[in-house]
Every structure is written in structure tokens, then in C-alpha cells.
Amino acid sequence: MMRQYELVERVQRYKPQVNEALLNKAYVYAMKKHGGQTRASGDPYFSHPLEVAAILTDMHMDESTIAVALLHDTIEDTSATKVEIEDLFGEDTARLVEGLTKLKRLDLVSKKAAQAENLRKLLLAISEDVRVLLVKLADRLHNMRTLDFMREDKRARIAEETMDIYAPLAGRMGMQDMRDELEELSFKHINPEAYGTVSDRLAQIANRHAGLLEEITATLRGLLADNGIHADVASRRKKAWSVFKKMESKGLSFEQLSDIFGFRIIVGSIDECYRALGVVHREWKMVPGRFKDYISTPKQNDYRSIHTTIVGPSKQRVELQIRTWHMHEVAEYGVAAHAIYKDHGAAGGEGKPNGKAGGTAAFKDTNAYAWLRRTIESLSEGDHPEQFLEHTKLELFQDQVFCFTPKGRLIALPRGAIPVDFAYAVHTDVGDSCVGAKINGRIMPLVTQLQNGDEVEIIRSGSASPPAAWEALVKTGKARAAIRRATRAAVRKQYSGLGHRILERAFERAGRPFSRDILTDGLGRLAHTDVEDVLAAVGRGELASAHVIKAVFPDFQDEKLSTPASAELLGEGWFNLTDASGMMFRFPGDVPAGAAANGDGHAGAGAGDSDRTLPIRGAAGDLPVRFSPEGAVPGDRIVGISTPGKGITIYPIQSPALAAYDDQPDRWIDVRWDIDEANRTRFPAQIIVTAINAPGSLAEIAQVIARNDANIHTLAMVRTAPDFTEMIFDLEVWDIRHLTRLLGQLRESDAVSTADRVNG
């Protein structure tokens, strides 16, 4: 176990003016508080916070963060209190220790919603002070290093949690070294067999190529020195998890992997980075498509480096990374590295670290921390916890492409992103109004996958709203969340519009005035907070119009069956009855008393019928309307069935499916066609055709349908016999006359035996 003076010496190596008193006091206090506590391994418990502190010294953290690491378990696991720590170490240290105590109680591997809510708490705590994240990650890293002493089931749970949350979070904050180790340790416990196999193969390959690696390292170092560039050159080997993931995702074998080994060239300045690149490319051929300049275009986690692959001295592919010392520190330690450079001339980022930095890091100036702030902002959007979890995981795991706006603004997106993702990355309003996109000056489909360097211009419309289907196409969590919100708002608006129409007619029949302001008086009695909620509830069928009238006018008497009503003969001895409250009921037998009969022998609503029914123009209007499977077309007599949460389904009056709603009269809605001749639209209809089983029959049927200006939506082969084939066509036609004419011509065709409307 590391001694007190050894810890101080570790910090002094990079910060000579260390506050020894603070470290000594924290060391002694934590050791006394943990006393005789032991870990699962049998080691003294104090060894754990001490190792966490040691990990943070490797990251060159300041002494206040080291002190927090020593104290991070005291409130949770000992008799220490926040007040006591505040008195001894100050308010800032006490706040951080308490924040870590709350995180200690989290159980991220639990039910999905609870996991999401706990992730919210974690990110909120980090957003207040990123040192919470650094101590938490160091705590998790040491726990993973000692995971062998835990029960097997607990090992798997903790490893999955680490792989799922902590490793990608470390990567997102630029701490690649820590991410690599967390992933390796998690892989070892999640899939020990695969880990063992891959590790053994990597070790064999490393032994076999040891001489070659030394040769390439010496060659690169000498070549750069000959051109006046002093560089540190070292080889590196991919980790087992990285190799396994690449083999699994791309279906490759070991023999097909060309980048198991790579070389890192570290120089003194950005100018020397590009000079070194030129020297290497002049000496050896570059592999096309394998060059990336993350210096001019840094990653969102502040990573900067030049990546290239060359055909090396022994005619094998060699992957190179070229960077400065500052870039190397940021690549290894992420946000923690900014503490080293805050107060020194390395602000430009170059030169080897002199180890004289200290103080509080300028974390909030980094791109990685900016990403964290944007993620925290999404908490205020009111997403469901599970949606927030999905959003955050998408952000954590993304592999990026870089695109530009026409004005040159850089937008980083996950690989596979489409212009809709780009639009929402620019601004939510841009995404909501997106109707098209130009990629590199050409109009392209909105499902086009974006590539590095694409210039994207979004075409907008003020009246547009995002289709719900976009949610399945986009790749970013921000776009998915925004589309969900817009879809919910659009559906709510539809139901609100439907509810408004229903209430207008209901209040009119009741002889009472109607307005949105009037509804405000009844909100308390209806248990809703605003008028839009009431209208939407009525539109969804969750709230009866009679109840709304009663809430607004308490003296209102519901006289449904005693009030004259309108009735309509449905055939086969059934009647539709629309009562004074606007509800429709179905009755067998004679027309109920008080209902007026039309001259054609059918019962009807009389002159005021158009005011007592809901107008239906189609499924694309402002009402939440859909059609039954067999369809309905203008000219059909139609009935609407209300389904809570789904709107109204339109059935032709002859549909056998209506029998299922005989005992649910409150769901029947009186509807009528309201066709706009200036903006005609097709309507769904279903026909069944028995065709002669001969070559060309289907083609002839399709030609008849096309000649009659109808549209085939879907086709299903129902039954095939040696001589005949039954086919069901889902068509789109203008009206009943159009459908009747089409059926007549189909019956005249030599390829058709019979043609009828389904449920006709």
C-alpha cells in the first residue's frame, strides 16, 4: 500500500509547489475513518481510495482533486459527515465528496427507466463539476482492476455497466487511455473465452513481429531526424476488445486485419506535424482513403492528430498517428489534460509538458465539456427517461463524420447520419421545417447518408412538420427526440381540432354558447389544466361531450333519449340514431319514436344534417381519421367508430366488422363525405378478383386498372388452383362511380372470371 510521503512525491513530480498539508491531512483522516474495514480481496479498505488517488496522479490532477479521491467513500462507508469534512477541508471539497456519495448509491444496471433516471443524476452531478467524473471514473477503474474478487454474477453486472456507460463516457470526454482499459477489463469478464482467444493471438503476432516493429521504429526516427525533425516514435498494439469489435462488425479474420500495429510520432509543434507527414509521404506511398486530418478538424472530444496509412519499408501497411505533445496529453487524458496547460505558455498547445502546471482546469472551455452541457440541456426537454437513455447512448457511441453548412460551420454527426440529422444539429426549428436538402450543390433524397466533407444546405418550408416515419431513419438522439415531440404535438393538435368540432356541435344541440374561454370555467371540474387538454381528451374519446357541457353549465340536463333525434336506416333492420348530445346509437327494428324518415324510405337527420355530422375529406386532413381495411369511397354510406387514442376509423355501412361494435354505442360517430372538388384525392377500396391461371393474366388485369386511372397499392394472392387464382387488390379510386366502372371493365376482361368488391 502506498505510503503518505509516496503520494506527495507523485504529485510533486508534475507540481513542485504542492499543498502537502492538504494531502497529508486527507490521507490521515481517510485512513482513520476506514480503520479496520476490508475489501472482498481481504486488503484494507483504505487501499481503494489510495489507489483511486494514485490513478488521478497519473492524470496529473491537482491536490484538491487528489484529496477528494482519498475522501470519496468516507461519508458513504464511515461515520464521517459532510459538515465534518466541510470544517476540515472546506466547502468545495465537502460538496464534491457528497456528490460522489450520491453517485455511489446509484445502481445503473436495473430496470431500464431507473437506469435512465440514474444516468440523468450522474450527468447532472458531472455538469456541476467535471472533477466528479474524473474521480468517479478512477473509482470505477480500480474496481474493475480488482473485480476478480467479486461473485461471478456481480462481476458480469458491473462489467456490463462499465462497457455500457462508463467506458464510452470516458471516451466522449477524450480520456482514451482510460476508455481502452475499462473496455479491456469489461471484455475480460463479459466474454472471457473470446478475450482469452484474441489476447493469445495478439501475443503470438507481437512475438513474431517484434524485430520488424523495432526496425520500422528506427527507420522512422532516422528519416525524420535526417530532415531536421526531432520526434519520439513508438509502436503500439491494438487492444483485444478493439480487435474483436472490428472482426465482429466487419466479418474479418485475423489475417485480414491490417492495423493491429500502429506507430505514434510525437513532435514539438503543429508545423512539425505537417512536415513529418510530408517526409513520410515522400518516402512511402500512402494508402488511398486512409488519411484523416483531425488537427484542422478536431473531434468533438478535442482529439487532434493526423492519421495516415502507408505501404512501409517491408511492403506491409503501416498505420501512423502524428501529433504534438499537447495533443498527446489530451488524447490520453481528455478533459483532465487541460489542467496541465491552463496557466502556461502551452496554451497554443505545443511543446513537451514541463510539469509546472496546477490549479483548477479550464474544463468548461473544452469541446468535450460543451458536449456534456448540450446533453444536460436535453434534460429540460421533458423526454421520457428511456428516451433520454437512448439519446445519450446514441451520443456516447457515435463514430463521426464531419459536414459543413453553406457558411462553413462544421457539424459533427454519427456515421450513417442523413440530412435530417444535419438539420436538427443546426437547430430544432430547422429540422422541424426541413423538406429537402442539397448536398454539395445537388438536390438529394433526405435518406442519403452523409460523407466526410459534404456541404449540406437544408431546404425549409414554413408549413412543414416532420413525419413520424423519420424517427426510424435518423441516427442522432437529438433528431429522434425532436421528431417524437413534433409528432406528439401534431397528434395532440389533430385530436384538439376533432374535439373542438365535436363540442361545437354538442353545445349547439344543447342550446348553449360555445367558446374556448367558456371551457376555462369548467377546467377544475374536468380535472384538466388547460383547454387544449380538454379538447384533445374529447377528440380521443376519453371525455364525453355531455360531461363537458355539464362542467361548464351545471344546470344542464342531459335528455338524450327524450330529445328528438335523427335516425338513418342501415339495412337488415338496423338504424343509426344521432341524439341531442351528438352521440350515435344503433338500434334494431323500427325507427325509434321521434326520428324522421326520408322520402326514400330511409331515416335521416333532415335539413340540419350537415351541421350534425363530422365532415370527412380523407385520411390526410386535419382530423385523426383512418379507413377500415376494406376501405370506403365517396358515394358509400359511412359510419365512424371512435377508438380512444387512435381517432376515428371510417367503415362502409355494409362492413361486417361493424357488428363487433353493436354493444358499444358510445363509440359510433355520425360522419359524412365533404369532398373538395378543387383538391380531389383518391380513397381506399379493396376488390377480390378471380383470374384465369394463365401467363399474362396479371399483366392484363393491371392494364385494365391503369387504363381506368386507378392505383394499385398492394396485391395479395389469396388462393391458387390449377385453373384459377384469387387475388385481393388494395386500390385507390376517386369515388363509387369510378370503382363501379372499373369492376365492370374487369369483368369484361378475358383474363377475369369474377371481380367484386370485398364486403360489397
Residues annotated as part of the active site:
76-77
H or E segment to which residue 549 belongs: helix 545-552
Cβ neighbours of 574 (radius 10 Å)? 16
Strands laid side by side in the 711-720 sheet? 711-720, 724-733, 683-692, 752-757
User: What distances in angstroms separate CA 264 from CA 105, 234, 268, 400, 721, one per listed residue?
Assistant: 41, 5, 13, 22, 71
How far apart, in whole angstroms, are the C-alpha atoms of residue 651 and residue 630?
8
DSSP 8-state secondary structure symbol assigned to residue 451 = -
C-alpha cell at 673: 363525405
**Long-range pairs for 521-528: beta carbons < 8 A, 24 or more residues apart:** 521/552, 522/548, 522/551, 522/552, 525/551, 526/551
How far apart, in whole angstroms, are the C-alpha atoms of residue 181 and residue 683?
60
User: What distances in angstroms separate CA 739 from CA 395, 695, 725, one per listed residue?
Assistant: 51, 26, 21
How far apart, in whole angstroms, are the C-alpha atoms of residue 448 and residue 454?
11
Angle at CA of residue 607, ends 603 and 613, nearest 5°: 75
C-alpha cell at 579: 341524439
State the alpha helices, DSSP H only, in 631-718. 697-707
Cβ neighbours of 72 (radius 10 Å)? 27
Which residue's C-alpha cell is 462508463?
166
Question: Any residues with CB less than 8 A from the CB of 368 and at least 6 apart, and which?
Answer: 172, 173, 174, 300, 301, 302, 334, 335
Amino acid residing at 145: R
How far apart, in whole angstroms, are the C-alpha atoms of residue 567 and residue 573?
12
Question: Any residues with CB less than 8 A from the CB of 384 and at least 6 apart, and which?
Answer: none
Closest listed residue to residue 563, CA positions, set 511, 607, 641, 500: 511
User: What is the sign, positive or negative, of the torsion defined by CA atoms of 649, 650, 654, 655?
Assistant: negative
How far apart, in whole angstroms, are the C-alpha atoms of residue 395 and residue 368?
12
Question: Any residues with CB less than 8 A from the CB of 690 and at least 6 apart, and which?
Answer: 724, 725, 726, 727, 752, 753, 754, 755
Question: Any residues with CB less than 8 A from the CB of 74 and at least 6 apart, and which?
Answer: 29, 30, 33, 34, 80, 85, 97
How far apart, in whole angstroms, are the C-alpha atoms of residue 478 and residue 494?
24
How far apart, in whole angstroms, are the C-alpha atoms of residue 271 and residue 36?
56
Strand partners, 752: 691
How far apart, in whole angstroms, are the C-alpha atoms of residue 349 and residue 327?
7
Amino acid residing at 58: D
If DSSP states are collapsed to H, E and C, what string results for 709-725? CCEEEEEEEEEECCCEE
H or E segment to which residue 51 belongs: helix 47-58
